[in-house]
Copies of this chain bind each other. A is one copy, B any other.
Amino acid sequence: MPAKIVRAQIPRVHSIVTCQRGEQIYAEGDATDKCFQVSAGAVRVSRVFANGGRQVVSFHLAGEMFGFEAGPQHRFFAEAIAETRMAVFERGPVQQHLPELLALAVDGMERAQEHLVVIGRQSAIERVALFLTDLSNRLGGTRQLTLAMSRQDIADYLALTIETVSRAITELRERSVIALRHARIVYIMNPDALRSLCGDAASPSEPARTG
């Protein structure tokens, strides 16, 4: 699971926008003329299928950038999953900052590759354990996680169903690895146990950040 997150410092912010929970930021096919940096809230990047299924490719939390793509059109949907404030960068000026963009793209590649390995080879409980571990790392190593996303979002990210995610969380709770104050507020009681449940693919903890 990815742990490092690029937080590039790119000047010349075009504007700051606020999105409501559920609001679309861009759609598949939209022009890739901007990219974004979350300042508060959380964003979901996903593909939606004809049959209503969805694969979430990434979540983006405060400080993280998204929306940068190679082609002229977006290949995914981006939506706010909570009330979200973002800085918007015009693509043109941003092109001047090649080193930052490169770091961003490489980071995106690595995160997608790690995600791929998890989806391809880990069991349901390993995916959920890894998800919580990753989220904890991204939130600065905190043991109390406030999940911005619903169970459905988590399921779509981990390529599971909502029921399977729920059962995995229940099992973690029964094993006293985590505790729930609320369905969306997770307390990691035993970080070592959680990490050992991640199977291989476990990123040791890595609080390092770029940017």
The number of chain A residues with a CB under 8 A from chain B is 39
A151 CA / B165 CA spacing, docked (Å)? 32
Instruction: Please measure, in the bound complex, the distance between the C-alpha atom of A206 and the C-alpha atom of B49, giving whole angstroms.
Output: 20
- Check A103 for interface membership: any CB of B closer than 8 A: yes
From B51, B102, B115, B199, give the contact of A105 (CB < 8 A). B102
Q: Check B53 against A121 for contact (C-beta < 8 Å).
A: yes
Set of chain B residues within 8 Å of A103, measured between Cβ atoms? 70
Contact of A121 among B71, B117, B159 (CB under 8 A): B159
A55 contacts the other chain (Cβ, under 8 Å)?
Answer: yes
Complex contacts, A110 vs chain B, CB 8 Å: 69-71, 75
Q: Which of B75, B159, B201, B210 contacts A113 (CB 8 A)?
A: B75
A55-B109 in contact (CB<8A): no
- Inter-subunit contact B57/A117 (CB<8 Å): yes
Q: A101 contacts the other chain (Cβ, under 8 Å)?
A: yes
CA distance A102 to B105 in the complex (A): 7
CA distance A121 to B157 in the complex (A): 11
A95 to chain B, nearest CB (A): 9
User: Do B112 and A116 touch across chains, with their CB atoms under 8 A apart?
Assistant: yes
B98 touches A55 (CB 8 A): no
- Asked if A147 is at the interface (CB within 8 A of a chain B CB), the reply is no
Which chain A residues (98-138) contact chain B, with CB distance < 8 Å?
98-99, 101-103, 105-110, 112-117, 119-121
Q: Say which residue of B51, B53, B105, B119 sits within 8 Å of A106 (CB atoms).
A: B105
Q: Which residues of chain B come closer than 8 Å to A50, judged between CB atoms?
A: 200
| CB-CB nearest 10 A-B residue pairs | A120-B159, A112-B112, A105-B105, A109-B109, A70-B106, A98-B98, A108-B109, A49-B200, A105-B106, A55-B120
Distance, CA A65 to CA B193, complexed state (A): 39
List of B residues within 8 angstroms of A71 by Cβ: 4, 110
Is A47 an interface residue when CB atoms closer than 8 A count as contact? yes
How many whole Å from A205's CB to the nearest CB in chain B? 15
Please, could you name 8 A-B residue pairs with CB atoms under 8 Å apart, sorted by A?
A: A4-B71, A47-B201, A51-B200, A53-B121, A101-B102, A105-B106, A116-B119, A119-B119
